[in-house]
Structure 1
Amino acid sequence: MAEDWRNGGFGLYVHWPFCEAKCPYCDFNSHVSRSIDQGHWRTAYLSELDRVATETPDRVLNSIFFGGGTPSLMDPATTAAVIDAAAKHWRIANDIEITLEANPGSVEATRFAGYRDAGVNRISMGIQALNDTDLRRLGRIHTLAEARAAFDTARSLFDRVSFDLIYARQDQSLADWERELTEALNMAVDHLSLYQLTIEPGTAFGDRFDRGGLRGLPDEDLGAAMYDLTQEICEAAGMPRYEVSNHAREGAQSRHNLIYWRYGDYAGIGPGAHGRMTVGGQRFATEAHRMPQAWLDAVSKGTGESARDRLSGIDQAEEYLLMGLRISEGIDRDRYAALASTAIPEAAVQELVELGMIRTRGSRISVTYQGFNLLNRVIARLAGA
């Protein structure tokens, strides 16, 4: 299965690690810095691109994703340099998707034209809430007015604009979420990422929760009701769930994220970036140094990677199962068997079909609405755990 990655495509992930402020719920690899040498970072990214490209020649690049951190703090010239270098290293798909994550503060909004000129064709905005009280509670530095202005600017410059919302927030009722989600859907958006607030260990919210200071969070039943309501409203609006937390109109799905979920190859560059790369017929899991300065120092010595682990056939099959069942299209049993050198147990398939957790069509398995609510159990059963 040396060419298995072709089933999912090939993408490039570029991690920009800096933010203006650290949000209290965030456990991503992000850092606050008073000064950033844009030229130094540009040189480092281009060096890493050179290295990765020598290992992945003769490929078609389907997507580029600038994530973070806050990539909208990146100089548009740096963005342009990365895109131009990628186009020199690989053949570019005719419909390549180039996404940049952006915070909707008024300062970043002025950069949107620069990103468009650099080649970005999709913006993903971290709005997170549609009222100022909850924006402050979430530690966001923008106001609702700034978010709306930035969204309108992005819509005027880009054909494709997505934004994120967090729900199951403190003191949020089911009716509150219904109004907010309806308002979001009325903003002429074609893609929404809708996440339940998760309290992660090691974050400011996690520490506050442990001290009993994070009050008003919904209980499990209310959280489940909010999730069900989300599916109902989005489905009725023509934006069904195509992944656990992502909703889109037909044709507006995130092509880059589909590479992950379809278990394609993706090169990850930048501090803390992960990748899956097939080199010499073998697939590897890669990880870069997390701390920005450590990554820069490592790149100057030849590679920003801190780890590269060879994935066995079973490893790949399990990852394919884990990622592929998150999306509505599901997985291909024949592909799983080719990776694992063994089939998914038929008894497990039939049991889950009878329980209404999965459906089958030819060689494909996909998860039902009921199954999505118990996805981890479904995956474990199919994996034989």
Structure 2
Amino acid sequence: MADDWRNGGFGLYVHWPFCEAKCPYCDFNSHVSRNIDQKQWLEAYLTELRRSATETPNRVLNTIFFGGGTPSLMDPDTVAAVIDEARALWRPANDMEITLEANPGSVEAGRFAAYRDAGVNRISMGVQALNDEDLRRLGRIHTVAEARAAFDIARNCFDRVSFDLIYARQHQTLDDWRAELTEALSMAVDHLSLYQLTIEEGTAFGDRYAVGKLRGLPEDDHAADMYLATQEICEAHGLPAYEVSNHARPGSESQHNLIYWRYDDYVGIGPGAHGRVTANGTKWATETYLSPNAWLKAASAGSGEKERAALTLQDQASEYLMMGIRIGEGLDIDRFGALSKQPLPQEKLQHLCELGMIELHDNRLRATKDGRAVLNAVIRELLG
């Protein structure tokens, strides 16, 4: 299976680790820093790109994704230089998708035209709530008015604009969420990422929750009702779920995220970035240094990669199932069998089909709507 990477696309993830403020729910690798030498960071990114390209020759680059952190704090010239170098190192697809995550503050919004000129053709905005009080609780530094203004500017600059919302927030009712989601869908949006608020250890919310100071969180059944309402409302507005937490009009799906879920190859550069890269007949899980300073020092010296692990065929089969079952198109049963060297357990498949959790059609395994609501349990059953 050394050529399994030929089953799909190839992407590049670039992590920018800096934010203006750390949100209390965030467990991403993000840091607040007032002094950033963008020229030094650019040189480190270019070094990493060149190193990665030597391992992945003759690839067609389908997507670039600038994630963070807050990539809309990057100088547009930095973004342009990374895109130009990637285009020179790999053969760019004719329809290459280049996404940049942005926070909807007015300063970042004013830079959208410069990012477009740099080559970005898709914006993903971290709106998170359409309620000023909830934005304050979430630690966001923008208002609803600023988010709407930034969204309008983005729509004028880019054909494709997505934004994120978080639900199951403190003191949020089902009716509140229905009204907010309907409002979001009225904004001529073609892609929404809709995430349930989760309390992660090591975050400010996690610390508050541990001592009983994070009040008003919904019970599990109430959060599940919000999830089901999300599916119904988005589907009724023409944005069905193509992945557990992602909704899009047909043709507006995030091609970069589909690379992850289809278990294709991607290079990850920047602090804490992960990758899945096939090189010299082996598929590798790559991981970079988490600390921005440690990564910058290592990358500037020739490699920001902290470690890599060779993935066995069984590892790959398990990862393919865990990722592929998240998307509406499901996973290819023959590809899974070629990786695992054994078929999926027929008794478990039949049991899950009888429960209405999965369906098998055209040699693909898909989770049903009911199955997506308890997806972790479905995966445990199939891999157990």
TM-score between both structures, scaled by the size of structure 2: 0.99
Poorly superposed stretches of 4+, deviation over 6 Å: none
Q: Does 1:139 align with 2:159?
A: no
Q: Give the corresponding residue for 2:310.
A: 310
2:371 & 2:6 partners in 1: Cα distance? 28
Q: What is the root-mean-square deviation in Å for CA atoms of aligned residues?
A: 0.7
Q: Give the corresponding residue for 2:191.
A: 191
Matches of residues 1-385 of structure 1 in structure 2 within 5 Å? 1-383=1-383, 385=384
Contact 1:8 1:258 in 2 (8 A): no
Counterpart AA for 2:272: G
1:371 & 1:257 partners in 2: Cα distance? 21
Q: How far 1:281 moved relative to its partner?
A: 1.1
Structure 1 residue matching 2:57: 3-state secondary structure: coil
1:86 & 1:296 partners in 2: Cα distance? 19
Per-residue Cα deviation, 1:56-87 (whole angstroms, up to 9, x for no partner): 00000010000000000000001000100011
Structure 2 residue matching 1:140: 3-state secondary structure: coil
Q: How far 1:302 moved relative to its partner?
A: 1.5
Structure 2 residue matching 1:97: 3-state secondary structure: strand
Contact 2:43 2:300 in 1 (8 A): no
2:212 & 2:236 partners in 1: Cα distance? 38
Q: How far 1:301 moved relative to its partner?
A: 2.1
1:239 & 1:28 partners in 2: Cα distance? 27
Structure 2, gaps ≥5 residues long: none
Q: How far 1:300 moved relative to its partner?
A: 2.1
Structure 1, gaps ≥5 residues long: none
1:334 & 1:75 partners in 2: Cα distance? 45
Q: How far 1:362 moved relative to its partner?
A: 2.9
Paired residue total = 384
2:380 & 2:6 partners in 1: Cα distance? 26
Q: How far 1:8 moved relative to its partner?
A: 2.8
Contact 2:276 2:284 in 1 (8 A): yes
2:235 & 2:39 partners in 1: Cα distance? 45
Counterpart AA for 1:234: C
Contact 1:8 1:260 in 2 (8 A): no
Counterpart AA for 1:221: D
Structure 2 residue matching 1:28: 3-state secondary structure: coil
Counterpart AA for 2:236: A
Q: How far 1:2 moved relative to its partner?
A: 1.2
Structure 2 residue matching 1:353: 3-state secondary structure: helix
TM-score between both structures, scaled by the size of structure 1: 0.99
Per-residue Cα deviation, 1:229-282 (whole angstroms, up to 9, x for no partner): 000100100001111100000000000000000000000000000000000111
Per-residue Cα deviation, 1:304-327 (whole angstroms, up to 9, x for no partner): 000100000000000000000000
1:183 & 1:7 partners in 2: Cα distance? 39
Per-residue Cα deviation, 1:189-231 (whole angstroms, up to 9, x for no partner): 0000000100000100000111111101111111011001000
Moved more, 351-360 or 101-110: 351-360
Q: How far 1:3 moved relative to its partner?
A: 1.6
Aligned identity (percent) is 71
Contact 2:238 2:249 in 1 (8 A): yes
Q: How far 1:343 moved relative to its partner?
A: 1.0
Counterpart AA for 2:152: D
1:337 & 1:221 partners in 2: Cα distance? 36
1:172 & 1:345 partners in 2: Cα distance? 41
2:65 & 2:90 partners in 1: Cα distance? 15
Q: How far 1:373 moved relative to its partner?
A: 1.6
2:219 & 2:294 partners in 1: Cα distance? 41
Counterpart AA for 2:357: M
2:70 & 2:300 partners in 1: Cα distance? 23
2:345 & 2:174 partners in 1: Cα distance? 40
Structure 2 residue matching 1:356: 3-state secondary structure: coil
